Amino acid sequence: MVREMDEKRQIERLEELRREVNFHNYRYHVLDDPVISDYEFDLLLNKIRQIETDHPGWITTDSPTQRVGSQPTERFIRVAHPAPILSLANAFGSQDVRTWYERLAKLDERVAGTDYVIEPKIDGLSVVLHYREGIFVQGATRGNGQVGEDVTINLRTIPTLPLRIPVDSKGPVPPQYLVVRGEVFINKKDFEDLNSRLQEAEKKTYLNPRNTAAGSLRQLDPSLTASRSLNLLVYEIVAAEGEVPNTQLERLAYLRNFGFPVTQYAVHLRNLDDVINECENWAQRRYQLPYEVDGMVIKINDLELATDLGFVGKDPRGAIAYKYPSQEVITQLLGIGVNVGRTGVLTPYAILEPVDIGGVIVKQATLHNFDFIAEKDIRIGDQVRLKRAGEVIPYIIGPVTGTRTGEELVYKPPSVCPACGQPVENLPGEVAWYCVNAACPEQLIRNLEHFVSRGAMDIIGLGIRIAKQLVSSDLVNDVADLYTLKRVDLLELDGFAEKKADNLLDAIDVSRGRSLERLIAALGIRGVGEVVATDLARYVVDLDMLSQVTVENLESIEGIGPNIGQAIADWFANPANKKVLRKLKAAGVWPRSEAGKQELGVERSLSKHTFVITGTLPNLSRQQTKEFIQEHGGKVKNTVSKKTNYLVAGKNPGSKLEKAHSLNVAILDEGGLLGLVGE
Ligand code: IVH
């Protein structure tokens, strides 16, 4: 009885914590107006995790811990939509809008007095979200309009998607069943960041934000989707059990009240001239939005009237997309240049006959990698189609093959590095080609540029021009040479007067005090950016220690897979890098980490062992047990397999115990686990 009461209270507490976390998540991600600190937020979330690890049976699909928690799937299941997911007819300019209006006015006399709502048309991917009793239960892509793909687990990772409505417990009561439609997209900035990360990891980059959003939502592994900064805006009610408002304007407010992210740029207008005016105004304004907008959607506000107007094919008559002229042009490809990145990756770029796209003169565009050129059969001399979307860097769609003269040249990737003339290499299974010459001056310049950048050693005033000067004058042969630069040497360089030399030396001096995580990020190890560097600095006290960590131990750190682990080990094994480290140490650039007390590099007692936990232990919670094992270097998995070394079993163990018996896996109780590390 007492126990039951206790459990009841705990469940209530859990529910309350979930409500709180959902609410703060909404304040942060949707309203952009948090009322607590990130730290306090993490504390709340941790409390939920703690209760849920102790009581796995209490985990619900709408728990905020489930945004990233699920396992990869093998394929997506098809789901039928409750109503057809329609598309929109297009209007290319004001005349098309007037023609649309005149046709409607002939069909129904109410059209003459109607009002409108116009909304930005986000260039993303339509999704359909189902809520039962306020809980997000299923989400699908649009598919063919009748049937889509079930991407629920991926949608859950989107921070602005409410897992439960209303988000605020004081909010209105939602209908028993509610299906809404919205657009999933990625902000332009996040798209560019993602592409640089993919490029750095020598993976294929995405063409544009829309294609990125689609690709990210269709990942079979939800943890990949979670890493993609996807976003959502909701604009339509597809189905509802119960009363819902019958104007678009009210519906947007209604959805917003439940905690759905809804555009703040919807405008209510009373006549067609104002509508056209507003659409024209947005032609330029849209570039200021963080996401790509390819038009405005004009909607008849009275949804009863809109429904009565019916459809033409798949397009409802009551709304139309006002499309902006596509920022697409055709120009000639004059040549193909090749950039050398700091890891030696060669990236081809197009040299173009200068062309104006939406007021910007474009002379160059990326060609991603050599496979892209071959796949698209892009030849030098071709007319190519080029697109610029928002502020995003222009990209090439493909060649116009119909106008070929026969003079075009098929491009052959270089066999030597364009900067140093040394042979280039391609690793099996990778798209990238590399210059592997450790002394390649172009790589060194890029390396320096990275080393001194903001998230790294942050040496103010050392830009690309100075980096080039330092390398070509032989003053700098590796990043460590920065710390032994002398005033007299700098004064020899073009454009260096005393003040400039002193400022640079001061800035370099200041950077000696940067933290270990910044220095790790600055080294330019493949796949090790600011985030991974921060993780690493939590486990090691200095670079000596990091250099001794085995690949296996590196992989046991969350967020580090085999590729990054190997890249780190390779970097430290390279003699040229060892020399850089020696020089940095001698120059006193040798930060120590405060947090790196966990001593991952030292052989720890549980390393090389895999554990599975089941049942309730007398003293340690599930989370504590997991952390204990990980702190001592062990790995914790969810299922018992032949590779499991130990099953840690407590009270009410469940089927894992039988499985462990059948596979002859050693079984430990809490005391046995502590005994393994001599505690
Ligand atoms: S209304 C019948 N509103 O544009 C209603 N669509 O070209 C049709 N889109 O498939 C949708 N932002 O994926 C609507 N504010 C918005 C939109 C929007 C983007 C997309 C949507 C649709 C496509 C039609």
Domain architecture of the chain: domains with CATH: 2-68 (1.10.287.610), 90-323 (3.30.470.30), 340-438 (2.40.50.140), 459-513 (1.10.150), 516-586 (1.10.150.20), 610-676 (3.40.50.10190)
- Distance (Å) of CA 239 to CA 121, 138, 163, 236: 21, 14, 18, 9
Mutation test residue for ligand 1: of 118, 235, 314, the one with most atoms within 8 Å of CB: 235
Question: Six-digit token pair at 9?
Answer: 């209270």
Choose between 206 and 240: higher pLDDT.
240
Query: Cis peptide leading into 245, omega within 30 of 0?
Result: no
CA-nearest of 439, 437, 441 to 419 is 441
Percent of the chain with pLDDT over 90: 53
88 CA distance to ligand 1 middle (Å): 7
Is any atom of ligand 1 closer than 6 Å to the C-beta of 202? Answer: no
Confidence of residue 99 (pLDDT cuts 50, 70, 90): very high
Tokens representing 77?
A: 């299941």
**What distance in angstroms lies between residue 121's CA and the mean position of ligand 1's atoms?**
6
| Closest C-alpha to ligand 1, atom 2 | 86
Residues with active-site annotation? 121
Instruction: Give 236-246 pLDDT, tens digit per residue.
Output: 999 999 899 99
What was the pLDDT predicted at 366? 86
User: Looking at ligand 1, which atom is closest to the CA of residue 236?
Assistant: 1
pLDDT in tens, 619-655: 888 888 888 887 777 888 888 888 888 999 988 888 8
Closest CA to 125 of 251, 240, 225: 225
To test the ligand 1 pocket, which listed residue (81, 87, 249) has its Cβ within 8 A of the most ligand atoms?
A: 87
CB within 8 Å of 64: residues ≥ 6 apart:
18, 21, 22, 25, 45, 48, 163
pLDDT band at residue 601 using 50, 70 and 90 as cut-offs: very low
Q: What is the mean pLDDT of residues 582-607?
A: 72
This prediction's pTM: 0.62
Q: Whose CA is nearest to atom 12 of ligand 1?
A: 121
* Tens-place pLDDT, residues 418-465: 999 999 998 777 778 999 887 899 999 999 999 999 889 999 999 999
**Does the Cβ of 657 fall within 6 Å of ligand 1?**
no
Which ligand 1 atom is the nearest neighbour of the CA of 318? 2
Testing ligand 1's pocket by substitution, the residue of 85, 116, 122 carrying the most ligand atoms inside 8 A of its CB is 122
Which tokens sit at 75? Answer: 């394929």
357 close to ligand 1 (CB < 6 Angstrom): no
Predicted confidence band at 599 (pLDDT cuts at 50, 70, 90)?
very low
Does any ligand 1 atom lie closer than 6 A to the CB of residue 86?
yes
pLDDT at residue 676 is higher than 80: no
Q: For residue 602, what pLDDT is reported? A: 44
Cross-strand bridge partners of residue 383: 332
Q: What rounded mean pLDDT belongs to the chain?
A: 88
The response to whether residue 266 sits with its C-beta less than 6 Å from ligand 1 reads no
Give nearest CA residue, ligand 1 atom 8. Answer: 87
DSSP 57: G
Beta-sheet pairing, 610-614 with 635-637: parallel
| Residue-wise pLDDT tens digits, 32-86 | 788 887 778 878 888 998 999 889 889 888 888 888 655 666 678 899 999 999 9
